[in-house]
Amino acid sequence: MEYRDKLVLAPMVRAGALPLRLLAAEYGADITYGEEIIDHKFVNCQRVTNESLGTTDFLERGTGSVVFRTCPQERDRVVFQIGTSDAVRALKAAEIVCNDVAAIDINMGCPKAFSISGGMGAALLTKPELIHDILTTLRRNLNTPVTCKIRLLSKRQDTVELARRIEKTGVPALAVHGRTIKDRPRDPAKWDEIADVVSALSIPVIANGDVFEYEDFKRIKDATGAASVMAARGALWNASIFSAKGKIPWEDFKREYVRKTILWDNDVKSTKTTLREIITRYTNLEFAEGKGVIKCSSSADVARLYNEEDYYNLVVSNWK
């Protein structure tokens, strides 16, 4: 895995599933992160080859629900992100999937209560010894590249010192979200503090924060000196942000996304999450479309809502 001069799709909970990752790649994303998967859940999954879809599925034992789905088309660029607070458990989770992905990443930036209460995500930022244990354990035991994604600490120098300690574990790259735990998405990302990290490290830094247009990739790269740039919400709202030709109309992207979810039999909850985000950004969930999405309980419902019933029936008829 090469981490310099790359456009990167960020990990996004309940949205970064296979359809969005593939669309992002089609438009120019070089590296695509999957959504964070909690190690407790993933260690209870089994790997299954889905002959009908041509995918590799990781199914939860007992329920049979798909926890992670990937395919050969993304093998060289997909990053599997783990939510963890324990090195041994993280390794067990990584060993299940490492041969089917390009890299493993440890989430050290999620500020959500469910992550922090479990000692995961941003809770790790104040536990450098545990960070060292997790990263070195995975690096010693895996042939797959291992990285992590952090966010800023409240003091600039603390962020730099943490980044230096992470670099010493031997990771090939570090992603940095330019906000602190207390910052909200509406607060401007602190590109200057990402630049501090870049200046202190020799490994590639992936800058993340406030990338909403294709031109922003160059802007943040120039401002921070980062090796690569990661887009989250901008890509969620319209993955053609990765295209040098410019974004397509959001309605066209939405249609492409719906078709991809049908083609890859995406979990309807994931599909609805992404559609709600797109609709909220550009129109209003209280309009008929938004209310229709909320009522959908299956991919067939989504297909009907967007007048894609013929496509849905064609796809389903081709499944073996």
Is there a contact between 78 and 21 (Cβ–Cβ < 8 Å)?
Answer: yes
Is there a contact between 184 and 206 (Cβ–Cβ < 8 Å)?
Answer: no
**């490492």: which residue's tokens?**
98
CA 173 to chain centre: 16
Q: How many residues in the chain?
A: 320
Q: How many CB atoms lie within 10 A of CB 61?
A: 10
- CA 98/CA 88 separation, integer angstroms: 15
- Distances in Å between the Cα of 45 and the Cα atoms of 42, 55, 103, 158 are 5, 15, 19, 37
- CA 113/CA 186 separation, integer angstroms: 19
Three-state SS for 208? strand
- CA 295/CA 275 separation, integer angstroms: 12
CA 295 to chain centre: 26
**Would you please indicate which residues are annotated as catalytic (active-site) residues?**
110
